[in-house]
Amino acid sequence: MALSQQTRQSERERIALLVLDLVKERGAEIPHAVAVSESGLSRPRFDQIFDDYDDLFDAIAQVWLKPHMTAMEEVLATDLPPNRKMYEFFRRRFEISRERFRTDPEFFTNVCEMGAANFERVRSYVDLADHYQCEIIAEAQADGYFAGLGIDETLSLINQMVANYTMPDAVIYLGEKLSEEKLARIIDTIFTGLCDEAGSEAAGVNKLRIAT
């Protein structure tokens, strides 16, 4: 019997949440065969819902990352000035990860390890976050920030400067060394000095040259 799109989507979410519960309970990534046996569905029915393990992992990633995606979309919809919008863009996702880690460090670590082992399956979410960030960068450039820099270069520079607030593993290794206050200072510094205009007052110290 064919599944309706609504039923299929509902079952995908149910099983994804079930697998995450199993990861929490057993402390390890759950093999495809175990997910099938624990789902309460026959193998043919399960295969109607998920093409393969990669498809199952996509559903798990969608459930896990949904709060992050919602946070980014809510920030983009605001009328905040670009510097504050950029701060909120990173802060809200950081706080989600930090709270999850504080609530259950072992479970959070296991999920991070799953993500690292299946990075190609979550790359699209990273790309979407970059796309959203580029929208904020474009707004900032319209207000005169990041003079002389292209959007892609600005994106790369900012990502390198705030990596500890976007990479989940950083919460595990750095813990309380990460804070909203430090993130705010980083964003302030980015908006004050990130440009490529020679002689600009915002250019900061003399440019460093690559050692040869």
CATH number of the domain within which 68 lies: 1.10.357.10
Residue 170 lies in a domain: yes
- pLDDT over 90, % of the chain: 80
Residue 210 inside a domain? The answer is: no
pLDDT digits (tens, 9 = 90+) for 163-195: 999 998 999 999 999 999 999 999 999 999 888
Q: Is residue 203 part of a domain?
A: no
The pLDDT tens digits for 86-130 are 999 999 999 999 999 999 999 999 999 999 988 888 899 999 999
Domain housing 64? 5-195
pTM: 0.87
Assigned domain for 208 exists = no
* Assigned domain for 167 exists: yes
Q: Does residue 174 form part of some domain?
A: yes
In this structure, is residue 173 part of a structural domain? yes
Helix 53-76 to helix 5-26 angle (10° resolution) is: 100
- The count of domains in the chain is 1
200 lies in some domain: no
Provide the b/e sequence for 155-168 (b: ≥16 CB within 10 Å): beebeeebebbbeb
